[in-house]
Structure formats: C-alpha cells, structure tokens
Amino acid sequence: MNSKSTSDLLTIVSNLGVLIGLIFLIVEISQNSRIASATAQLELAQDRREIYQYADSMIEIDSKFRRGEEVTDIEGVIAARLYESRIRSYETQWHFWINGLVDDDQFEAYQELLEGTINTPIVLQLWEDAKDIYHPEFVRLVDERLMNSPQ
C-alpha cells in the first residue's frame, strides 16, 4: 500500500471514530435527560409525601384559620412550617419546569395547587413576610398569579 492510500484509510477510520463518538454522546445525553426527569419526579413525590404526613394536623389548623378562631402558638408554628415547606416544594417544581424536567401541563396543575395554597389570608401574610427567601422569578410568577386570581 502506498502512502496516499494509507493516508486515505486513516482519514476514513478517524472520521468513523468521530461519528461513533458522536452517536455515543447523543445516546448518553438522552439517557441523562431521562434520568434527570425521573429524579425530578421522585423528588416531587417525596415532597408531597412529607407534606401529607401532617395533613390531619393541618386540616384542624386550617379550619380554625378559616373560621377566624385563635390558634395556639404551637399550631401557628406548625402551620408556618408546613406552608413554607409547601411553597418551597412549589419553588422546586418551578426550578424543574424552567430546566425542562417538568412539562407545561404538569406545571400548570402545580400552579393551580400553589394558588389554592397561598390564596388564604394567613398564608398570604406568610407569603408577604417571607417571599424574599425565594428565587425572584418564582416570586414574580406567584405574585402575578395571585394578582390575576379571583379572591
């Protein structure tokens, strides 16, 4: 074999190597996207489980808030912690959404849940008092949603 045909053969082999490397990279990126999406879904499910473990306490406390009854200091702390946890969970869902790990329909459903969570006098007050601890774009989204929601 002469040097020209050897050079041509090496060029073809190196081009094939690059092509195989690109195919491998595409497969890896696809797998990583699916894994990231599954991880996001697991985290959201875990957030919901943690919130629901306090559901019985919150039903009683929520009922008191809605009837305008006094709550104990302990009940107030439980409510504040739980609502902060719920709002933080919604912020996590927002992060997943802006990074493409939660689809638009799923995020819209979460926004409706968020609106229902925040749109009570006590939670609105908690939101106003603590919204500076959340991402500014998430705060903007929530405030716009609340401004446009029926009271």
pLDDT (tens digit, 9 = 90+) per residue, 105-125?
Answer: 888 888 887 877 777 777 788
Q: Where are the alpha helices (DSSP H) in 3-150?
A: 3-52, 55-67, 73-98, 104-118, 121-130, 136-147
CB 89 within 8 A of CB 51: yes
Banded pLDDT at 1 (limits 50, 70, 90)? low
Per-residue pLDDT tens over the stretch 6-62: 887 888 888 888 888 888 788 787 777 777 666 766 676 676 666 666 666 677 777
State the angle between helix axes of 136-147 and 104-118 in degrees (0 to 180), rounded to the nearest 10: 70
Which of 96, 107, 95 shows the shortest CA–CA distance to 33?
Answer: 96
Is residue 127 classed as helix, strand or coil in its secondary structure?
helix
CA distances from 17 to 4, 5, 26, 29 (A): 20, 18, 14, 18
The pLDDT, as a whole number, for residue 19 is 82
Confidence of residue 139 (pLDDT cuts 50, 70, 90): very high
- Burial label for 128, CB within 10 Å (0-12, 13-18, 19+), is exposed
Q: What is the reported pTM?
A: 0.62
pLDDT digits (tens, 9 = 90+) for 67-107: 888 888 888 888 888 888 888 888 888 888 888 888 888 88
Size of the chain, expressed as the number of residues it contains: 151
User: Residue 55's pLDDT is what?
Assistant: 63
